Structure 1
Amino acid sequence: MRLNGNVTLTEIADAAAYLAPISEIDRARKYPYLAPEGGFVLANGRLFHLDEAQLSNDHADGILAGRTPVLSVGSNRAPVQLLRKFGMAATVPVTPARLHDCDIVHAAILGYYAAVPCTAFPSPGTVVTLNVAWLDAEQLVQMHRTEGIGVAYDFVQMQGVTHQFNLPVLPVFGYAARAGVLDCGGGEPAGLAAIPAEGRRFQTLDQHQAATRLRQLAKIDDNRTMAQFIADMQADKPARDAVIERLRPYAIQPQNPPWHLQTVTIDGIDAYL
């Protein structure tokens, strides 16, 4: 792949590890999926390295031009999820970033594919290693849909994001769970074990542990295996909605969060709820 300025990007050698198809059950079990360190470009179903030197030689009308930077806190960090959302023909540049004074924690909802998703939550002194997806206008609309905008998540302008590359000074946006975060004990949330952080204040849970906690709180910790529970939830939206309703007493809302709500009106979200 070639950028403006005659810069050629090299393909990531182990790209298959990040792009391999995931079964419907594993969409929940393996959330939030593998993501490469540093920058990358997803283009035509292939994965390329992207570093700061390459971007510095890209012209002003280059690969980031006209795109909106969106902080990825969960599965959107992962190439396999970007590929699922935007398709084989898409080009999505991704740059490394850090989020300060927040952690990434389990949200008090059950996603439409039965994962316990995540969201940012204030945590003074914590620094989380994430990435930023640079989305064109069409991709941003599709991302809004897949985030269940206005129902599951709000679109927000983030504070406390620092780029690891020297990039244009632009607002960075993201998504915040409307339901709040899951009380994982003692009135506190739990960070995602799969997301690296410095100065973490909360305990961490992996996806299986978070789903187990969710089932306990929603009083559906029956004799079904986790795979059976996932399959049942994926197939039954009213059952998912009932779980989310039962979680309301165990949801924690952030106080003075470091983000600002953005007004977005969009249709086509029902398939992602």
Structure 2
Amino acid sequence: MTSRHDRHTLRALGLADAPRDRPLSYPGAWPARSGLLSGDELLPLDRLTHPGRTPVVAVGSNASPAQLRHKMAAAAVASAVPMVKARVTGIDVGASAHVSRFGYVSASPVRAPAVTRELFVIWLDPEQLALVDATEPNYDRVLLPAPEFRVELENGEPLPDTFAYVNHHGVLHRGDGIPRRHPGQRALITELLLASAALRNMFGGTPEEFCARARADAALCEEGTRLFAEEKMVTSSGLEHLHVP
């Protein structure tokens, strides 16, 4: 018999696998509903807003409870993280123009005034915010000011100002200068390898080879990041004008 406690574990909810361990699963499994990430559990939330914490829109693996759990545990941060579903207008989910040391090509927001996406807002206390900032060396945390960007919680409440992590290498495009949407890791790496012989020479011909070689060699990840720029695969996210705190 499954206890009430067991029903809230990440394993029981199908949320236990982190992209840092399984790169082709990136951005990882996201929760079906809002919750409070506390250790290995995702507990019910008693409220959607959390004064004293910073609201950050997650477009990639920061919306994966398993990935967040890894980050917090590695730094011995034990406090819980509220994760709240939201409708976000003004950004879409693009593909970062860098190869992650964990073996994937991560997501980054791009400006998209007519687009509304269902994403998560993670509410971080000062210690958690400093930690997550430190785990994002390829990103700048920027302010998403209202009304240019609208973040509406699941109860319809708008947030006046939120933050997001924007990749400072830019984002990838398909050849037309328009940021490509991140289609999921396997599909994205397959498309990139098909489009670039130089990338295949570096990382192999399959997503599995790409991930394995990237995870084994930090210098190769840097070379891959440079190659994106050299092959003119990079464009602006349209968010460079935003304020970096």
Name the TM tier (shorter chain): 0.7 to 0.9
Q: How far 1:189 moved relative to its partner?
A: 2.5
| Deviation sequence 1:201-224 (CA, Å, 0-9, x none) | xxxx33112112333447122454
Contact 1:99 1:130 in 2 (8 A): yes
User: Would the alpha carbon gap of residues 22 and 137 (structure 1) be closer, same or farther in structure 2, given more than 3 Å must change?
Assistant: closer
1:251 corresponds to which of 221, 231, 234: 234
Contact 2:94 2:181 in 1 (8 A): yes
Which shifted more, 162-171 or 65-74?
Answer: 162-171
Matching of residue 261 in structure 1 with residue 226 in structure 2 = no
Matching of residue 81 in structure 1 with residue 70 in structure 2 = no
Which shifted more, 167-176 or 206-215?
Answer: 167-176
Matching of residue 72 in structure 1 with residue 58 in structure 2 = yes
| Deviation sequence 1:67-119 (CA, Å, 0-9, x none) | 11111111111111111111283300111112212211111111110211111
2:170 corresponds to which of 180, 186, 195: 180
Equivalent residue runs for 1:11-160 within 5 Å: 15-16=10-11, 17-22=13-18, 26=22, 28-50=23-45, 54-55=46-47, 64-87=50-73, 89-148=78-137, 152-159=138-145, 160=149
Contact 1:93 1:133 in 2 (8 A): yes
User: Would the alpha carbon gap of residues 191 and 12 (structure 1) be closer, same or farther in structure 2, given more than 3 Å must change?
Assistant: farther
**C-alpha distance in 2, partners of 1:251/1:120?**
14
- Any idea what SS the aligned residue of 1:140 has? helix
User: Would the alpha carbon gap of residues 99 and 167 (structure 1) be closer, same or farther in structure 2, given more than 3 Å must change?
Assistant: closer
**C-alpha distance in 1, partners of 2:62/2:155?**
19
2:222 counterpart residue number: 241
- Any idea what SS the aligned residue of 2:220 has? helix
User: Would the alpha carbon gap of residues 49 and 136 (structure 1) be closer, same or farther in structure 2, given more than 3 Å must change?
Assistant: same
**C-alpha distance in 1, partners of 2:61/2:118?**
14
**C-alpha distance in 2, partners of 1:158/1:11?**
37
Contact 1:25 1:227 in 2 (8 A): no
- Any idea what SS the aligned residue of 2:133 has? helix
**C-alpha distance in 2, partners of 1:22/1:100?**
27
Q: How far 1:124 moved relative to its partner?
A: 2.8
Q: How far 1:25 moved relative to its partner?
A: 5.6
1:214 counterpart residue number: 192
- Any idea what SS the aligned residue of 2:131 has? helix
Amino acid paired to 1:164:
E
Length-normalised TM-score, structure 1? 0.74
**C-alpha distance in 2, partners of 1:168/1:98?**
9
Q: How far 1:232 moved relative to its partner?
A: 1.4
- Any idea what SS the aligned residue of 1:108 has? coil
Length-normalised TM-score, structure 2? 0.82
